[in-house]
Structure 1
Amino acid sequence: MSRRPLPTEEEARRILAQRRTKPPMRPPPRASHKLQKFIKSLDDQFGRSANSLEGRWTEIVGERLARVTRPVKIIKARGNSPGILELRVVTSGALYVQHQQQEIIEQVNLFLGAEAVGKIRIQQGPIKPLATASQPRPRSRSLPALPPLPPAEEAELEASVAHLPEPLRKALTKLGKVAYARSRDEADDPYR
């Protein structure tokens, strides 16, 4: 079997001019393009909603606005235009929220993504308190034990309320003991 001789330089140029070489492979598509539909469906189902905002509402708008506002819902607009954020606002805070609308929109868009919200609709009414772990616990109703009164002061207090009916006498006696104890504490305080 005889081998075919290699083409000359001129023949090689003519062959290459007639035939196209195989194009280089394209780079693989970006994952973001492939996952965009999937992410959009998840976003519609779970994401950009008032529920996702409510858990971090204090972080998003700040303590002052969080005390008077709650996100109700996000109304999605057609196409790619920004949506409308519906806020429930305490009646006394509505004017303040109206003046802070642009800042609220900016902060919400930082959290949800660019142009997620373009307008705010204010709904006046009562709001529920935010459920956070950092809320202070209610103070205990028990009072610290009072130091005993000197016998002379206690006798004077008992005599001043002796003519009153029983429930009122007990309440005023208790109040008088607290008042005496406080006045004594204030007298002992050199910085008062």
Structure 2
Amino acid sequence: MRRRTLPTLQEAAEILARRRTKPAPRPAPLAGKSLAPMLRRLEAQYGQGPGQLQMRWKEIVGETLARHTEPVKVTKGRGAAPGVLELKVAGPAAAIVQHQAPEILKRVSLLLGEGQIGKLRIIQGPVRVSAGKPQAKRRRLRGPLDAASEKALADGVAEATDGPLKEVLIKLGREVLRGSGS
């Protein structure tokens, strides 16, 4: 069997000039553009659902209840019947939510419309803490203490024996003084 040699650059250019290549395939349309009309129809038919509630949940129930509750699902009632709001509630907060159910339903009705939700279904379970914006963690200032605080700390641990215990007590004292704002 005889090996075929590769064409030169000039021969390759002639071959490419004679042959037509296929046009590049068109990219697929954006999913959002195709789905937008259908989503508008579904929203008009079934309402806004829990997505709108989750975004504004802290405003609806208050910060304290928002930490212990989370809207899971909105079930639309048949015909003109009101729907059901399913809430996930963390443990013992379920009793408080049950007690405040009429008030929660009134506030939810302000957002979704009067008569959209008529009943609250409570499911106990762990709740995600991300109600709204994630809370920033507090960071302690790591700067040095002023001279007076450092002297007071050194006087306080002066009676301790020299060694690792004294070093640890000084470190602990510095952290306590930084945390208290002194």
Q: 1:145 maps to what in 2?
A: 144
Output one character per residue of 1:5-49: Cα deviation in whole Å (capped at 9) or x when no partner.
xxxxxxxxxxxxxxxxxxxxxxxxxxxxxxxxx97643246x431
TM-score normalised to the size of structure 2?
Answer: 0.63
Relative to 1, partners in 2 of residues 1:117 and 1:175: Cα closer, same or farther, differing over 3 Å? same
Q: 1:90 maps to what in 2?
A: 90
Letter in 1 for 2:114: A
Distance (Å, rounded) in 2 between the aligned partners of 1:137 and 1:115 = 38
Larger Rg: 1
Deviation at 1:105, TM superposition (A): 1.0
Deviation at 1:179, TM superposition (A): 7.2
- Does the CA contact (< 8 Å) of 1:161 and 1:172 recur in 2? no
- Does the CA contact (< 8 Å) of 1:161 and 1:173 recur in 2? no
Letter in 2 for 1:145: P
Gaps of 5+ in 1: 1-37, 186-192
Relative to 1, partners in 2 of residues 1:106 and 1:161: Cα closer, same or farther, differing over 3 Å? same
1:174 and 2:171 are equivalent in the alignment: yes
TM-score normalised to the size of structure 1?
Answer: 0.60
Q: How does 1:1-192 map to 2 (within 5 A)?
A: 41-44=42-45, 47-133=47-133, 136-148=135-147, 149-150=150-151, 154=154, 157=157, 160-162=160-162, 164=163, 166=164, 168-176=165-173
Distance (Å, rounded) in 2 between the aligned partners of 1:153 and 1:74 = 59
Distance (Å, rounded) in 2 between the aligned partners of 1:181 and 1:71 = 40
Distance (Å, rounded) in 1 between the aligned partners of 2:78 and 2:72 = 20
Deviation at 1:116, TM superposition (A): 0.7
